[in-house]
Structure formats: structure tokens, C-alpha cells
Chain A
Amino acid sequence: METMSSSISSSPFDQNLGLLDSIGEEGIDEIIQSWKGFCSSTASLLNGNGDLSVGSEFVAHVHSLCKYGLDSLAKDHFLCALEETFERNGSSNFWQHFDAYSHVSARELENNQIQVAGIEQVLCKSLEEISLEKHYQEKCLLMLAHALQSHQESVLEGRPDSNVERVYLFSKYQLMVSSVLMTTLPRHFPEILHWYFKEKLEELSKIMSGDSEDSDECQDRDEMDLDEKSKLLRRSGEMEIDACYQSKKFSENNKLVKNIGKVVSDLRSLGFTSMTEDAYASAIFLLLKAKVHDLAGDDYRNSVLESIKEWIHDVPLQFLNALLSYLGDLVAYDRPSSGLKSPFASHPTAHSPGIDTSSQGIIRWKLRLEYFAYETLQDLRIAKLFEIIVDYPDSSPAIEDLKQCLEYTGQHSKLVDSFISALRYRLLTAGASTNDILHQYVSTIKALRTIDPAGVFLEAVGEPIRDYLRRRKDTIKCIVTLLTDGSGGNTNGSGNPGDSLLEELNRDEENQENIGPDDDRNIDDKQAWSNTESWEPDPVEADPQKGSRNGRKVDILGMIVGIIGSKDQLVNEYRVMLAEKLLNRTDYDIDAEIRTLELLKIHFGESSMQKCEIMLNDLIDSKRTNTNIKATMKMSQTGTEQVETAVSLDILDATIISTNFWPPIQEEALIVPGEVDELLSDYAKRYSEIKTPRKLLWKKNLGMVKLELEFEDRAVQFTVSPVHAAIIMQFQDQNSWTAKNLAAAVGLSVDALSRRMNFWISKGIIAETQKPDSHELTFSLVDGMVDSGKSGIGGGHCEELLLGEEDGDRSVASVEDQLRKEMTVYEKFILGMLTNFGSMALERIHNTLKMFCVADPAYDKSLQQLQSFLSGLVSEEKLELRDGMYLLKNNLNEK
């Protein structure tokens, strides 16, 4: 038998059976007695409400059972009893506390502060209760462990590993506790945790932000609370709150962190480690998000990134540091039972003091929080980028923040996508003026080059704007105005008021030159300028680093010229606008234009600007010649007989132009008043005397006349074209004219006269009447006080200015007119092409023209010029544009 038993003693069960075989009746009786005793003492221990008086009896029974090798049976029974008791006294009671909240939705929690306060109380109370219960059970379990251990010590001579039994039992127990709670977990419990932490963090955040006056008071009160609690805990066993390190700032809020720490450690010891961590993490992120929104707001004039980082350091990180330090000891104690990994569980050294104990856990938290803050701020700024750019440069702090965020997150593509759609929705619409679009374009370039010095993302963002602007007819004109005119349009607040963009760019460049050490840059720039014509954007995919390494910087002017396609077109448009401006002058003051020309020469090269230079030179020469002629004529006048003509040469000035270098001039026959005509002849005569063999050819319809009309009670000054002046001066001797007679007197057609007459009618100077029996129009002077509310004539003295363009009177042919004239040659060719091919895309028409029109005259227009000519043909209904293809208009009707 003995040999048999020893040979089959491989399992405890077999061993037990073997033992049972070897014992007699007496032994069995003892076993039954011990078992009964063990069961009843277990029951009274566990249900004894802290009564440990059955302890010695219990230990004796355990020893007795051990003697017969029934220790595992005893352990199993004890654990079963624990589970039953825990279910009954622990978990069900615990969950009952939260029943009241089972129907409360997250939304209701958010809106009802009182209930949240209730939650805190309920949570703390129920945690305390269940923890006490658990502690008591653990003490009982410890008793069993000690009993088992003391038996082993008596049997075996040597010291067995005293902890093995205990560790085994406690891990079993911990597992049981967690699984009981988890299987009975109500659905709303994680939410309750979340709101608890949210509430506590907000409280902390408030304290940190400074309103800590009443916190001292409640701190004292809570300190007492805490003392009582810890006494209670000390009495009940091992759970002792060590004086843990608190950060300087949080040390005064000790109690709050400790309370939270206590809740966290209680929850952990119940096995809710990861659920708890999720809850406070989500509360921290929620609070951080709110804080970022709160700090950032709609104020773009201050940087907020630093204060956000400060806040992260001051509130959540301090809190986490304090919490982790607080938990440090508990973690170490809890370790055998916590199989779940948490960032701090792996750090038994967390209890070493010092805020700068940058444990990996804290560093990880810091990175997570900062990344989240960067991303949140970045999304916020990107969503408002349009407004931010409108506000540029005042908003540059916001741009700088965004730059840092993007450097961290690398989500530039988010910016590109979001901004392009904002542009499409808000800017690139029929309602926006070309000027506004251009200003926003320039501001965009200026703002984004901070974020993206190489201009790679800027290319992607700028493309839709450029595309859209190319389809607008007044784009070139607006660009030229933007570049060269400091007086108007520049309402965006960028740069000094009164500065043209060109001036501003030049100043920026000079400033950079003063800073930048590399001398090569100048040459680069010139190279860049000469390349403007063939300028092409970089591919979007290009590496931004690469660009900046090459020293390429965002070239604002290049990006503006890029809208038009070539600098020649821009220069041409400028020349026309300059001509218009110069011919509508009543003086020779061209200082501003000279300055602008100098800037244009720097950027577009001297040869491009030569014609403009000659135009300005004409004005300088004219001034000199004008003075000269008048001086010599006065001399001859005083020398001989006093001329009896009523008007002296004083009233006449002239601008003498070198026609070949000016854009085509619009000439119109005009009969000027006799006295003026005489002066013109005298002037021309004198000119040819001085400048022989050169002579003057008057362009009588061009120029400007300043005149004053005097009525009985008022005088009104006008600055008008010679045509308007010639018309009104006819009324000097005759109050009323038929249209036909007046037209003949000033040398205009009746239509042309009527068109000009509208100006005088609108000013209330002339009235138009039509005799009922005939169709004849009559114009009469409106005399006396007619205050018809028409614009311009108030009482007293005022000046009216009529600019040529107002009613279609221009001194110079517009670029479009010139282009149409030049392109007409190709019209037949284009129509013929389309007849043959049906429909063609713009580029194909362009290439075909380039290929076939090589002489008489060679086709030398740009794609944009062709496009603008074709859109003219479309509006004349000769062509139609469908899906980017041009086709003949009548072609459709025939089919």
C-alpha cells in the first residue's frame, strides 16, 4: 500500500485519496469535525462584522485540515465563501448607490451641476464602503494565509517561501473581486466616473487660475475630513496614506488631489484601473480643449500658444504629477494584483520626490497633451484662416501660432484643403470685387509665407484665386492700380497708407538687404525678374525644405505677375493707364509717377519701361517749353502793341507728347471757342519758332479745362474735357441751342453731342426740351436758382471733376481695344479653323495660330490675350464656349 501510494502521489487529489486510504475511522471523524468547524468559523469570520474572536478556532481547524492534506480544499472553500459574501455585501450594495443615476443621460449630467455634486458624494461614500468591506475580507484572507504558512513551517524544517501562499491567495481574491464587479457593472458607471473627474479638474483649474480665497477655508475643513478618514483607515489596517510629494502649487490644494487620488486608488484596487484612467484622461482632454477654445477665441492679435503650454504645465501636468506621486506607494503595494498595465504602474520609483521627477509617464502625458493642444489650436485657426488673413498683418501672432502648430503636427494639407474651400465659398464669388480678391490674394501670400517660406502650399492655395482672376476682365487694371497707386484701394491696412504695393515690396526688400548677409541675393533677384515671363509655379509636391535651402523666398510680385501670365501685358496696361492719367492733368507734377517708374524699372527692367520713361520725359519737357513759350510771347507782346484780345496766353498750358511712344491716342474733331483757337495757333507758331524744324499738332479733344460758371447766387467750378468745355462755352452768348446747330458749332455729331450733354444736364446746368411738333432737341441754360437736388451744385463754391472715363471719353485707346484691333487679322483664320474642326480648346487654337500664322503679321499673342479676344467673340455671339471648347455659334443652329 505504501509503495502504491508513494508511486501515485503525482496529483494532490491522488495524494488526498492516498491519505484517506491510510487513515482510520478516528482520523475521518477528526476530518469531519475540523471541516465542520472550519466552515462555521469561516462563515462567522466573514459575516462577523469585524469580529475576529473566532480567529484562533479558525486557525486550529485550518491546521487540522492541513494535517490531512486538505489545504487546497480549505482554500477553495474559503475563496468561494469570500466571493459569495462579496457579492452579497460588497458589489450589490456598491452598485445600488448608483441606481439613482441609471436614467440620467450624459447631457443631463452636463447641465445639472447639483447632480454632479451628488455623484461625487455618492462615489466617495460607496467607494469607502466597499473598500472597507474589501479590507476586512483581505484581513480574513491574510488570516488563512498565515494559518497555512504556520502549518507549513511546523511540518517542514526549513523556511519555505513564505510569500508564495499569500501571493497566490491575494491574486485569486483580486481576480474574483474584479470579475464580480465587472460582470455586474451598470452601463452608466464609466460616465459617472467621467463626470466626476471633469468636475474635479475644473475645480482644480479654477483654483489654479487664482480665485483661491475661499479655497483655504474649505481646505481646512477638508483637511480634518481627511484626517478622520485616514484614522479610520489606519485603524482598519495597512492602507496608510504616506505623506506624498505635492508640487509647490498644488501643495496648498493637497486635499483636492488627495481626495481624487484616494478615489483613483480605490477604483484601482477594485480592478477599474483602465476604466479610471480613461475617465480622467478624457476629462483632462475635454478640459484642455475647452481651455484652448477659451484662450484662443476670436482674437488673432495675440499669441496664445505660450499660455496654453503654461496652462498644460500648471494644471493637468501638476495634477497628474501629484496624482502619480500620490499613487506611487499604492502602486507598489498593489502590484501583485494589478495585472493591467498603466503608465505609472511600471514606475515603482514614482514616490521619489520632486516635481521634476520626469517619469516617463509624465513625459508621455506632456507629449500627448501638447500634441492635442497643438492640433486643437491648429484646427481652430485653420477654420478661421480666411478671417485671420483679412485681418493680416494685425493677426500675425495667430499666424505665428499656426505655424508652430503645423510644424508640430505636419498637417499642412488640412490647411490647404480648408482654406481653398473657404476661398471658393467666400471670396471667389460674383459679389466680390476684383480689388477685394486681389487684396486678399496679397494678404494670403504675405501671411502664408510665414508658415511656408518656400511657398509650396501657397502655390496650391493661390492657384484657385489666380484661375478665378484670369477670368475677370478688369484684373490687369486692378493689378496695375494695386501695384502702382498708393492713393486708392489700399484699405487693407497693410503697409503705410498711401504706399503702393510696389513701394511696400521695395521697402521690404531694402530691409531684408540690410539684414541678409549674402550678396548673391541681388543677382538672384534680377535673374528672377528677368525670368518673370516664363515664371511657373513649383509642383505642389515639392519638398518645402528644398525650396528654402535654395534661398528662394516667396516672390510676391512674381505671384502677382503670375496671374496675368507675362510682365509685358502688365507693363502695357500700366502704360495705357499712365497715359490716361498724364493726359488728364492740369499741371506737370509727376513726382509720384517718376518714383513709381523707378520701382518698375528695378523690377521689370529698364528696357521694358522705356516708353513710359519717354512719356514722363515729355511732361518734363512740356513744362520747360511751356514756360519758355509764355515768357517769350509776353516779351514780344509788351514790346509791341497791347493786344486787345480778352484772354491772355496765361490761361493756356500745353502738354506736348512724342506720339510714337504713347499708346494710340483717341482723336476726335472738335471746334474749340474762337479765342482758344487763336491762342492755340499763337502757341504753335511760337513753338515752331523756338523748336524749328519741329512743329506742333494739336489734339484739340484732349486735355483738361478748368472753368467757373457764375450764376446770380453761386459760382461752380468744373474740371472737364475740352469737348465739354467747348459745348458749355457756346452758351455764353446764346442761352438756347438746337442740337443740330450746336453740334455744327462744336464740330461734333448730334449723337456725340447728346452724349456729352448728359453731363451738363445731370449737373442741372442745361435743360433738354423737345418741341412737340418736331423731333428737334433744344438745349437751354438753366438759370436762376434751381436746386433740383441734382448732385454737385450746392450753395457757394464747389468743384466738379469730370474724369474722362466717366462717360466713355478716354484719351487713350484701352489695351482691349488695341488687342481687338490687332487680333482682328486672325479672326477669319480662327473661324475657318472651327468650321473645319468643329470645336477646339483654347490651347489648341493658340498652338495652331502659332504654327500657321508665322508672317504678315506673325502671331505673337499670349494665351491670356487669345482667351480675352475669344471671350469677346463669344459675347458678340460669333462663338460659343462649352466645357472649355470653343465652337461656332451658328454651327449649332444649323444642326
Chain B
Amino acid sequence: MFFDRYYRWHAVASWTWDAQDETCGICRMAFDGCCPDCKLPGDDCPLIWGACNHSFHLHCILKWVNSQTPQAHCPMCRREWQFKA
């Protein structure tokens, strides 16, 4: 028997955010899910890291930052919130 070099492999993978935590500290939803305002996970509801290295749903931290004037702090470590460069 010879194997034809021709074969097609259709594989299955799952994606995950390469983050320290599994859930968003603001909305308590899984990172691999999405924030309460979104319907689709992944590209449509991305994560964002702060300078303190804590990560949140982008939509969640934006709402948080907007509500915390004049200066927002990281909901997890209370340090001044700065988006990671």
C-alpha cells in the first residue's frame, strides 16, 4: 500500500485569550465569552491590558474609566489606570 501524498486534514481548535485570568473582573463574565453588551466573542469584544497587567473586556473597562472621573483606577489593584502601550 502506498499513501498518496494527497490528503486533507480538517482540524478543530478552540481559541482563548492569552490572559492571566479567566474572567473579567468588571462584568464577571468569561474572557472567552463576551461582555454583557456584546453578542459575539473574540474580535468583536476584545480584551485590553492595563499598565498594571490586569486585563478586562475593552467595553467593560471603557465604561469603567468613563464613570471614574477625573482619574480612573484599576478595579483590581487600585493603581491608576493606564492602557498598556
Range of interface residues on chain B? 20 to 34
A67 CA to B15 CA in the complex, in Å? 135
Tell me whether A691 and B9 are in contact (CB under 8 A).
no
Q: Which of A222-230, A250-258, A693-701 sits within the interface? A: A693-701
Tell me whether B1 and A706 are in contact (CB under 8 A).
no
A765 CA to B40 CA in the complex, in Å? 45
A707 CA to B10 CA in the complex, in Å? 11
Contact among A657, A691, A707 for B12, CB-based, below 8 A:
A657
Which one of B12, B15, B18 has the highest number of Cβ atoms from chain A below 10 Å of its Cβ? B12
Q: Is B33 an interface residue (CB 8 A)?
A: yes
Interface string of B7-18 (1 = CB under 8 A from A): 111111111111
Task: Point out the residues of chain A lying under 8 angstroms from B16, CB to CB.
Answer: 659, 694-695, 697
Q: Is B37 an interface residue (CB 8 A)?
A: no
Task: Point out the residues of chain A lying under 8 angstroms from B4, CB to CB.
Answer: 707-710, 715
Contact among A652, A693, A731 for B11, CB-based, below 8 A:
A652
Contact among B9, B30, B40 for A614, CB-based, below 8 A:
B40
Which one of A614, A658, A702, A732 has the highest number of Cβ atoms from chain B below 10 Å of its Cβ? A658
Nearest chain A CB to B37's CB is how many angstroms away? 14
Tell me whether A657 and B41 are in contact (CB under 8 A).
no
Task: Point out the residues of chain A lying under 8 angstroms from B40, CB to CB.
Answer: 614, 617
Tell me whether B41 and A699 are in contact (CB under 8 A).
no
- Known A-B contacts A621-B43, A693-B18, A783-B1; A705 and B7 likewise in contact (beta carbons under 8 Å): yes
A698 CA to B49 CA in the complex, in Å? 25
Interface string of A680-702 (1 = CB under 8 A from B): 10011001100111111111101
Residue of B nearest to A765 (CB): B1
Task: Point out the residues of chain B lying under 8 angstroms from A647, CB to CB.
Answer: 5
Nearest chain B CB to A650's CB is how many angstroms away? 8
Residue of A nearest to B6 (CB): A708
Nearest chain B CB to A838's CB is how many angstroms away? 45
Tell me whether A705 and B14 are in contact (CB under 8 A).
no
Q: Is B62 an interface residue (CB 8 A)?
A: no
Nearest chain B CB to A746's CB is how many angstroms away? 15
Residue of B nearest to A658 (CB): B41
- Known A-B contacts A661-B41, A694-B42; A729 and B3 likewise in contact (beta carbons under 8 Å): yes
Q: Is B35 an interface residue (CB 8 A)?
A: no
Tell me whether A586 and B14 are in contact (CB under 8 A).
no
Tell me whether A680 and B11 are in contact (CB under 8 A).
yes
Contact among A621, A704, A731 for B42, CB-based, below 8 A:
A621
Tell me whether A696 and B42 are in contact (CB under 8 A).
no
Tell me whether B1 and A731 are in contact (CB under 8 A).
yes
Tell me whether B1 and A658 are in contact (CB under 8 A).
no
Q: Is B63 an interface residue (CB 8 A)?
A: no
Contact among A586, A610, A651 for B39, CB-based, below 8 A:
A610
A654 CA to B9 CA in the complex, in Å? 8
Tell me whether B2 and A710 are in contact (CB under 8 A).
yes
Nearest chain A CB to B54's CB is how many angstroms away? 13
Nearest chain A CB to B20's CB is how many angstroms away? 11
Interface string of A180-207 (1 = CB under 8 A from B): 0000000000000000000000000000
A661 CA to B45 CA in the complex, in Å? 14
Main secondary structure of the interface of B (DSSP, over half): strand
Q: Is A383 an interface residue (CB 8 A)?
A: no
A654 CA to B8 CA in the complex, in Å? 11
Q: Is B19 an interface residue (CB 8 A)?
A: yes
Tell me whether B14 and A658 are in contact (CB under 8 A).
yes
Task: Point out the residues of chain A lying under 8 angstroms from B42, CB to CB.
Answer: 621, 658, 694
A707 CA to B9 CA in the complex, in Å? 8
- Known A-B contacts A614-B40, A694-B18, A694-B42; A722 and B11 likewise in contact (beta carbons under 8 Å): yes
Tell me whether A693 and B15 are in contact (CB under 8 A).
no
Tell me whether A655 and B19 are in contact (CB under 8 A).
no
- Known A-B contacts A621-B42, A693-B19; A676 and B9 likewise in contact (beta carbons under 8 Å): yes
Task: Point out the residues of chain B lying under 8 angstroms from A665, CB to CB.
Answer: 14
Tell me whether B13 and A707 are in contact (CB under 8 A).
no
Tell me whether A660 and B41 are in contact (CB under 8 A).
yes
Task: Point out the residues of chain B lying under 8 angstroms from A710, CB to CB.
Answer: 1-4
Nearest chain B CB to A458's CB is how many angstroms away? 39
Which residues 807-851 in A have Cβ within 8 Å of B in the complex?
811
Tell me whether B9 and A658 are in contact (CB under 8 A).
no
Tell me whether B18 and A696 are in contact (CB under 8 A).
no
Nearest chain B CB to A349's CB is how many angstroms away? 83
Tell me whether B10 and A653 are in contact (CB under 8 A).
yes
Which residues 144-168 in A have Cβ within 8 Å of B in the complex?
none
Interface string of A716-752 (1 = CB under 8 A from B): 0000001001000101100000000000000000000
Tell me whether A781 and B15 are in contact (CB under 8 A).
no
Tell me whether B7 and A706 are in contact (CB under 8 A).
yes
Nearest chain A CB to B11's CB is how many angstroms away? 5
Task: Point out the residues of chain A lying under 8 angstroms from B13, CB to CB.
Answer: 654-657, 684, 696-699
Interface string of B29-67 (1 = CB under 8 A from A): 010110000011111000101000000000000000000
Residue of A nearest to B47 (CB): A693
**What are 12 A-B pairs with beta-carbon distances under 8 A?**
A583-B12, A621-B42, A651-B9, A654-B10, A658-B32, A660-B33, A679-B9, A696-B15, A700-B11, A702-B12, A710-B4, A732-B3
List 8 extra interface pairs beyond A652-B10, A653-B8, A659-B16, CB under 8 A.
A655-B12, A656-B13, A657-B13, A683-B11, A694-B18, A707-B3, A709-B1, A710-B3
Give the 3 A-B residue pairs with the shortest CB-CB distance, closest first: A702-B12, A707-B7, A659-B14
Q: Residues of A at under 8 Å CB distance from B?
A: 583, 585-586, 610, 613-614, 617, 621, 646-647, 651-661, 665, 676, 679-680, 683-684, 687-688, 691-700, 702-711, 715, 722, 725, 729, 731-732, 765, 781, 783, 811
Q: Residues of B at under 8 Å CB distance from A?
A: 1-19, 30, 32-33, 39-43, 47, 49
